[in-house]
C-alpha cells in the first residue's frame, strides 16, 4: 500500500485514489490532420518506463481533485507531486 501525498490534503492511503496513467499527453491540436499512424499513437501508446514516470492521480474519496506525480515504477517511491497544468518538473 502506497502513502500518496495529495497536494491539497496531505498524505493519504492509496485506496483513496484513482490512477489516471501517463501525465502530459496533449490532445492533438488539429485532430483532422492526423494520419492513422499518428492517431494510433495518440490513442494507444503510452510511456511504460521502469523508473521515474510522470503520471496522474485523483484523490477520489478525498478532495476529488486531479494532480500529477513523479513516481518510480520500480521502487514505488513518490518523488514529487504537483498540480495539473504545471510543466513536468526536472529532477536532478
Based on the shown chain and the rule CB under 8 A, indicate whether residue 21 belongs to the binding site for another protein.
Answer: yes
Based on the shown chain and the rule CB under 8 A, indicate whether residue 74 belongs to the binding site for another protein.
Answer: yes
Report the residue number, 20 or 62, with the smaller CB distance to Zn ion: 62
User: Do the beta carbons of residue 46 and residue 25 sit within 8 Å?
Assistant: yes
Q: Which of 15, 12, 41 shows the shortest CA–CA distance to 28?
A: 41
Based on the shown chain and the rule CB under 8 A, indicate whether residue 19 belongs to the binding site for another protein.
Answer: yes
Count of residues that bind another protein according to CB under 8 A: 26
Rounded to an integer, what is the distance from CA 6 to the centroid of its chain? 13
Rounded to an integer, what is the distance from CA 64 to the centroid of its chain? 15
Number of H helices, E strands in the chain: 1, 6
Based on the shown chain and the rule CB under 8 A, indicate whether residue 28 belongs to the binding site for another protein.
Answer: no
**Residue 6 interacts with which of another protein, Zn ion, none, CB < 5 to 8 Å by class:** Zn ion
- Report, in Å, the least distance between residue 68 CB and Zn ion: 13
Amino acid at each position: 500500500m502506497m502513502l500518496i501525498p495529495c497536494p491539497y490534503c496531505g498524505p493519504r492511503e492509496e485506496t483513496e485514489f484513482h490512477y489516471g496513467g501517463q501525465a502530459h499527453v496533449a490532445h492533438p491540436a488539429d485532430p483532422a490532420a492526423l494520419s492513422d499512424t499518428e492517431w494510433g499513437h495518440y490513442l494507444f501508446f503510452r510511456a511504460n518506463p521502469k523508473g521515474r514516470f510522470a503520471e496522474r492521480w485523483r484523490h477520489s474519496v478525498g478532495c476529488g481533485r486531479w494532480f500529477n506525480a513523479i513516481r518510480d515504477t520500480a521502487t514505488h517511491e513518490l518523488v514529487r507531486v504537483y498540480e495539473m497544468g504545471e510543466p513536468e518538473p526536472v529532477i536532478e
